[in-house]
């Protein structure tokens, strides 16, 4: 005599469980096909809010849950946008200006999202500026404790010596406290025009700090370009041009930001 019929387990979609299936949102985020995403989950390579998840029926909220694959953060919220701008000189890092100067709306107007800048570049400084509508990420990156690394290429007056490079790395005293470069090197010696090229990496967010550092060692800045911001590099992006971050760049940036946010909440 056959035994009692056992009810077939309901698919998560039929249970009214809130959220979306993890493999579905991973596929939608471009991480992998749904089948490969399932393999990643079963293999224990996916974390949700810091915890390894191996159950295929797991539901997540793309707008709130933090997901990572192989330790690299994934953005599940498709409404978020991340854009790199090579800001020209003569443009303020703002969406408006009461003095009528060029502002960032010149470069963000073509995007359907309302983008705002993460950090600032001086009016007379060009280079990499991150634009996004991700307020949470912007808040983490802008926090004083974050200290994202930034690399600048400076054309300065005079012939910079190796001794001056060492001084910049050891540290100098400015009016608002001591400061040292994380890295510094001479890229080009003084030519006919009497100018040198210096590459400087810092993590401080203090106002006009690169210009003030170089001025303090006797080499006022003629031109200044920010070449990198954290894991992002300007590369060959033309002045005034924009582009969306690649998935690799975004993963690196989100991973860095989430790590910093976690450290800030749990300093132990």
Alpha helix stretches (DSSP H) within the chain: 22-28, 34-42, 105-108, 135-142, 162-170, 209-216, 247-265
Candidate list 77, 122, 182, 215, residue with the active-site label: 122
| pLDDT tens column, 49-64 | 999 999 998 999 998 8
- Does the pLDDT at position 5 exceed 60? no
196 phi/psi in degrees, rounded to 5: -120, 160
| pLDDT tens column, 154-173 | 999 999 999 999 999 999 99
| pLDDT tens column, 67-101 | 999 999 999 988 899 999 999 999 999 988 888 89
Q: pLDDT band at residue 265, thresholds of 50, 70 and 90?
A: low
d(CA 131, CA 85): 7
Yes or no: say if 188 and 198 are a contact pair by the CB < 8 Å rule.
Answer: no
In this prediction the pTM is 0.86
122 is catalytic: yes
| pLDDT tens column, 97-127 | 888 899 999 999 999 999 999 989 999 999 9
Yes or no: say if 19 and 61 are a contact pair by the CB < 8 Å rule.
Answer: yes
């Amino acid at each position: 005599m056959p035994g009692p019929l056992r009810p077939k387990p309901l698919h998560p979609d039929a249970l009214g469980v809130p959220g979306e299936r993890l493999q579905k949102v991973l596929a939608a985020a471009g991480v992998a096909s749904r089948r490969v995403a399932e393999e990643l989950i079963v293999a224990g390579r996916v974390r949700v809010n810091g915890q390894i998840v191996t159950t295929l029926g797991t539901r997540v909220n793309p707008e709130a849950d933090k997901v990572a694959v192989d330790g690299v953060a994934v953005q599940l919220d498709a409404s978020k946008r991340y854009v790199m701008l090579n800001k020209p000189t003569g443009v303020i890092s703002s969406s408006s200006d009461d003095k009528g100067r060029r502002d960032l709306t010149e470069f963000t107007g073509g995007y359907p999202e309302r983008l705002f800048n993460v950090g600032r570049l001086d009016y007379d400084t060009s280079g990499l500026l991150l634009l996004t509508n991700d307020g949470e990420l912007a808040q983490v990156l802008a926090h004083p404790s974050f200290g994202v690394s930034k690399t600048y290429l400076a054309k300065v007056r005079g012939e910079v010596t190796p001794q001056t490079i060492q001084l910049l790395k050891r540290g100098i005293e400015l009016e608002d406290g001591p400061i040292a470069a994380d890295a510094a090197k001479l890229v080009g010696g003084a030519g006919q025009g009497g100018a040198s090229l210096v590459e400087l990496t810092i993590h401080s967010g203090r106002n006009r700090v690169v210009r003030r550092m170089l001025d303090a060692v006797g080499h006022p800045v003629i031109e200044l370009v920010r070449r990198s911001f954290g894991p992002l590099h300007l590369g060959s992006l033309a002045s005034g041009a924009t582009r969306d971050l690649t998935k690799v760049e975004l993963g690196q940036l989100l991973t860095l930001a989430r790590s910093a946010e976690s450290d800030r909440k749990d300093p132990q």
